[in-house]
Structure 1
Amino acid sequence: MPTDTVTPRFPRSSPYWPVVSHPLLRRVLPGLAVSALGDGMALIAVTWLALQLAPEGQRGTWTALAVAAYTLPSAAGTVVFGRLLADRGGAQLAGWDAILRAAALAAIPVAHLAGLLGIGLYVTLLALSSLLHSWGSAGRFTLLAELLPQRHHLPANGVVAIFSQAATIVGPPLAGILIGWVGPVWVIAIDALTFAVLALTYRLAIPATGRTGPTEPTSSSTAGFALIRRDRSLLGLLVLTFIFFFLFGPFYVAMPVHVVADLHGSATTLGSYYTAFGVGALGGGLATAHLRRWSLWPTTVGIVTGFGVAMLPLGLNAPVGVSLPAFALAGLIWAPYRSTSMALFQRRTTVALLPRVLAANGAVTVLAVPLGTMLGGPLTTALGAHRTLLLCAVATVVLGIVAAGLTIRPGRPPVREDGPPPDASAGRAHSRRAH
């Protein structure tokens, strides 16, 4: 039998095989996995150290500030560093983010040893560490687009998501053990070390070469936002993602209250929900690559609708035996969203434009969950926990239905999933004139 007709066996038959066997990516993936584990541990360590450093009567305020400082400054960094970073390659962007993260986080245990670490300096260093985070995320997905053909983008995005989802399961309990042993400041030191490993990985694994294709001129520090605004499909995707994440934000306030007040459960019960969601999300991440033959726009919209439906039992105050597996199903459905949405950006944007577009997307979407969480407080107070969850679940279902209706509206041209953005040819012409 000719060898080209033989069906390959696992693992070569897996859609993930071209990603994990790629000669350059297979050197980078271990660093990404280690860094994801560090971030998983930081979920607990960042808040725990804030609780230890904050004044007795201000712990809630300073803890919220610490959590916000670990993510939100990246929105400002997208604009501030736009001109400097927009035309850099994926590995360079991701590497610079890893270097800044490693240095700023390492300064926390150094300041602790010097007796200088107070809550103000702690929050400042967390904010500094996150300044390039949107660019780093953009660089990571740009690197995948640079190294792999389009048909492998979704599996590659899925691999990155799997690392993150696995880290949210393993990282927090590991952090709890280490905090009890050495304290939270040293868990943050470990997180810094994981970013140093990642930075070194990018430096050694990816050849220091320029872009292989033409670069696009950077007109301003907000060029990425302008590019999204001009492309109907990318603008629609950004709006969909922002509202989807915003509607998930109140969960972080309403869910603990729901467990205690409505279900009369304990911290163990709440932990069970988080674990169930994480296990479901890991399963969804593993399944992501198998969606590669599906049309990405309907799949992405379907994820939004399905997630809202899966969240309904929580809002309807269903017993734990029903709502717990439903919440695991919600995690399963949620998991592929980031991978499919990033694949849409990768398909609709040239590699040269991708960093600034993804950084602009990240700068907007990073605000969504915190804003939703802020709304969750007054909503939970006014409506109660399970009614708040029900409102968010129903609103998410409505969002998905509206998005589906807009996508297939009669008389409107279908939303394109591939091809260059409308201004790409103009950008190339401008580039040729400049040279």
Structure 2
Amino acid sequence: MRTGVRSSPYWPVVSHPQLGRVLPGLMVSALGDGMSLVAVTWLALQLAPDAHRGTWVAVAVAAYSLPSAAGGVLFGRFLRGRRGAQLAGWNALLRAGGLGAIAVTHALGGLSLGVYVTLLAVSSLLATWGSAGHYTLIAELLPPVHHLPANAVMTTIGNVATVAGPPLAGLLIGWTSPATVIAVDAASFAVLALTYRLAVPAVVPAGVPVGVPVGAATAPSPATPGFAAIRADRTLLGLLGLSFAFFFLFGPFYVAMPVHVAGDLHASATVLGVFYTAFGAGAMLGGLAAGYLSRWSLWPTTTGIVVAFGVAMLPLGLGVPAPLAAASFALAGAIWAPYMATSMALFQRGTPAADLPAVLAANGSVLVLAVPLGTMLGGPLVGTLGARRTLLACAAATVALGVLAAVVRFCHTSVVGSGRGDGGGAARR
């Protein structure tokens, strides 16, 4: 039994002395964020006028993530070269403050739509750097062979929380209010910030000479900042384009699904939570499986995920019975889960260690726009097509995207293999 556990690809991750102390804080914070999946949209529905509910749901969801794109650029000169634990901890602290202010303002009776959206935006300013911090910490502490399992652990923690968080949020909203759930999320981020502060000592990234300050050693030179490094590598640029389009096409779901549940089905937040839970349950299984994909070629796996996810989402837009819709959504979650692990592994393997924080922050600054922009598009799409047809259109477009990406990647690999290409950079897997 012990031999089997130790032979798991996850054992080097969960048994690592630093990462092992961080994981409990990540679990607590992820549970709070899973609850906010329901609370952020439901509070927007309560605050918004009936005629513009879909629009304000879209604005609230976008405000909870979109400003981090600006933060990824504006704060680069101050945060570039920082350790992964610092970046992740500072983001958690800002999230705690912004969400806590929403709960306090609501309790005092002063929470208007404008104040709500503003505080959500403030809380998200460092989210890009926080995400870069998580994956930079993995690259700092673990050798490349363990990157994919470690990425999968990060994803699986969030997926497990998605299973437990939404139904718990539905119950708490029924007993109290969505602002209470947001207060709980704020407290969970405070726990995470404290975890990073106490559990992870100063870490010198691999390859940095002893005695050299981390910031000075890891800060990329002016000739190779994050965006320039991605532009110079056609493989990483293609990966960024694929991820942006994939997440963009998922964005309208965040508008279509709540409006469909509340308007078409005349159901409660608990029913919305059930759908999120189905997705999270599938994602939890898919995330656990992702760590065993190390022997697979990462590029075909990544494009295959896009195609299969779109196929799994089609039944939701076809109006199938609710049990079948929930099952399809669970399958979609299982397919979706490994995408972040495989795409981040491509970045980690194809980027020099000194440039990794800036490259991941640049990647995040672009990707963080994808879902909010898709969500903003979801408002007029739902208004024009209706919630169900919006889901169908996005699913079909996702299938087409995956097929196109696979064809382009195959053609590029064929050219490189024949010696007529430039090699496409370091991340060829």
**Structure 1 and Structure 2 fold alike (TM over 0.5):** yes
CA contact (8 A) 2:251 2:374 kept: yes
Structure-2 residue corresponding to 1:215: 218
For the residue of structure 1 that corresponds to 2:286, the secondary structure is helix
Structure-1 residue corresponding to 2:155: 161
Deviations 1:258-286 (CA, angstroms, capped at 9, x unpaired): 77999x78557765543322211111011
Cα separation, 1, equivalents of 2:267 and 2:281 = 20
Structure-2 residue corresponding to 1:250: 252
Cα separation, 2, equivalents of 1:54 and 1:376 = 17
**Selected match of 1:78 from 64, 72, 82:** 72
Deviations 1:57-87 (CA, angstroms, capped at 9, x unpaired): 7655544333222111101101110111111
Deviates more, 1:130-139 or 1:302-311: 302-311
Cα separation, 2, equivalents of 1:177 and 1:417 = 50
Structure-2 residue corresponding to 1:234: 236
In the TM superposition, residue 392 of structure 1 has moved relative to its aligned partner by: 2.6
CA contact (8 A) 2:346 2:427 kept: no
Deviations 1:386-419 (CA, angstroms, capped at 9, x unpaired): 5544433332222212211121216411697984
Deviations 1:153-207 (CA, angstroms, capped at 9, x unpaired): 1111111111111111211221222334443333222212211111111111111
Structure-1 residue corresponding to 2:125: 131
**Selected match of 2:399 from 394, 397, 410:** 397
Cα separation, 2, equivalents of 1:302 and 1:172 = 28
Deviates more, 1:178-187 or 1:334-343: 178-187
In the TM superposition, residue 216 of structure 1 has moved relative to its aligned partner by: 3.9
For the residue of structure 1 that corresponds to 2:6, the secondary structure is coil
**Selected match of 2:279 from 277, 280, 284:** 277
Bigger Rg, structure 1 or 2: 1
Structure-1 residue corresponding to 2:415: 412
Superposition TM-score, scaled by structure 2 size = 0.86
Aligned residues: 413
Instruction: Indicate the RMSD between aligned Cα atoms, in angstroms.
Output: 3.1
Instruction: Quickly say closer, same or farther: Cα 1:89–1:366, change in 2 above 3 A.
Output: same
Cα separation, 1, equivalents of 2:333 and 2:425 = 28
In the TM superposition, residue 20 of structure 1 has moved relative to its aligned partner by: 0.5
Quick check: 1:65 aligned with 2:67?
no
Structure-1 residue corresponding to 2:139: 145
Structure-2 residue corresponding to 1:358: 360
Alignment of 1:12-91 (within 5 A): 12-53=6-47, 61-91=55-85
Cα separation, 1, equivalents of 2:68 and 2:336 = 23
CA contact (8 A) 1:90 1:139 kept: yes
For the residue of structure 2 that corresponds to 1:413, the secondary structure is helix
CA contact (8 A) 1:350 1:420 kept: no
CA contact (8 A) 1:280 1:328 kept: yes
User: Residue type of the partner of 2:27?
Assistant: A
In the TM superposition, residue 379 of structure 1 has moved relative to its aligned partner by: 4.0
What are the ranges of 5 or more consecutive residues in structure 2 without an aligned counterpart? 209-216
Q: Percent identity?
A: 65
CA contact (8 A) 1:165 1:285 kept: yes
Cα separation, 1, equivalents of 2:109 and 2:251 = 36
Cα separation, 1, equivalents of 2:220 and 2:284 = 39
In the TM superposition, residue 110 of structure 1 has moved relative to its aligned partner by: 3.8
Structure-2 residue corresponding to 1:3: none
Cα separation, 2, equivalents of 1:115 and 1:42 = 20
What are the ranges of 5 or more consecutive residues in structure 1 without an aligned counterpart? 1-6, 422-435
Cα separation, 1, equivalents of 2:306 and 2:370 = 15
CA contact (8 A) 1:344 1:417 kept: no
CA contact (8 A) 1:348 1:417 kept: no
Instruction: Quickly say closer, same or farther: Cα 1:82–1:278, change in 2 above 3 A.
Output: same
Structure-1 residue corresponding to 2:4: 10
In the TM superposition, residue 139 of structure 1 has moved relative to its aligned partner by: 0.5
User: Residue type of the partner of 2:374?
Assistant: G
Instruction: Quickly say closer, same or farther: Cα 1:394–1:356, change in 2 above 3 A.
Output: same
In the TM superposition, residue 356 of structure 1 has moved relative to its aligned partner by: 1.3
Instruction: Quickly say closer, same or farther: Cα 1:319–1:105, change in 2 above 3 A.
Output: closer
Instruction: Quickly say closer, same or farther: Cα 1:67–1:16, change in 2 above 3 A.
Output: same
User: Residue type of the partner of 1:144?
Assistant: I
Superposition TM-score, scaled by structure 1 size = 0.85
Deviates more, 1:319-328 or 1:66-75: 319-328
Cα separation, 1, equivalents of 2:107 and 2:153 = 37
Cα separation, 2, equivalents of 1:45 and 1:293 = 39
Cα separation, 2, equivalents of 1:373 and 1:68 = 7
User: Residue type of the partner of 2:282?
Assistant: G
User: Residue type of the partner of 2:64?
Assistant: Y
Alignment of 1:198-347 (within 5 A): 198-211=192-205, 213=208, 214-219=217-222, 223-255=225-257, 272-320=274-322, 322-347=324-349
Deviations 1:200-232 (CA, angstroms, capped at 9, x unpaired): 111111112454524244539x93222111111
Instruction: Quickly say closer, same or farther: Cα 1:36–1:286, change in 2 above 3 A.
Output: same
CA contact (8 A) 2:58 2:378 kept: no
Instruction: Quickly say closer, same or farther: Cα 1:96–1:416, change in 2 above 3 A.
Output: farther
In the TM superposition, residue 55 of structure 1 has moved relative to its aligned partner by: 6.4
CA contact (8 A) 2:253 2:378 kept: yes
For the residue of structure 1 that corresponds to 2:5, the secondary structure is coil
CA contact (8 A) 1:105 1:192 kept: yes
Structure-2 residue corresponding to 1:98: 92
